[in-house]
Amino acid sequence: MLLLVKDDLVPMNAANFSRMAHGDLASLKELAFDFFNDTRRQMTGWMALIESENYNQLRDDLHRCKGGASLFGLERIVALVGASESPGVLEEKGFDLTGFEKELTAAESAVLALTE
């Protein structure tokens, strides 16, 4: 299932990210990449959760992911996950892992662009 994300949202809200950094972009970049790497590790199990119809665990994982993404101003990931975590949505529509991975990659690129 492909979920459409609003065009006005950006992969990463640079103003929010900079505000969270409190002048230390390098440290926040490191934390952001910890989040990205942890999320990619979790993603390896999401297909199994989908195939086994373990939507409660997937919903919990996605909710935690959304919380982390919101800390870094990752607007598109927050919107994508938020649209999927309501009861019944995953069961009826599934989750677009490919689209999510593209958004995660776009967020990583945006963080790099801001912090390099």
- Residue linked to tokens 């927050």: 78
- Give 33's contacts (C-beta < 8 A, 6+ positions apart): 108, 111
How high is the pLDDT of residue 3? 47
Residue 7 confidence (pLDDT) above 70: no
Contact 82, 66 (CB under 8 A): yes
Residue 2 confidence (pLDDT) above 50: no
How high is the pLDDT of residue 8? 67
Q: What is the C-alpha to C-alpha distance for residues 113 and 68, in angstroms, rounded to an integer?
A: 20
- Residue linked to tokens 């002048």: 23
105 φ, ψ to 5°? -65, -40
- Give 59's contacts (C-beta < 8 A, 6+ positions apart): 85, 87, 90
How high is the pLDDT of residue 9? 82
Q: At what angle do helices 75-82 and 55-71 cross, to 10 degrees?
A: 160
pTM of the model: 0.88
Q: Where are the domains of the chain?
A: 14-115
> Range with the lowest mean pLDDT among 2-11, 70-79, 89-98?
2-11
Tens digit of each residue's pLDDT (9 = 90 or more) over 34-89: 999 999 999 999 999 999 999 999 999 999 999 999 999 999 999 999 998 888 89
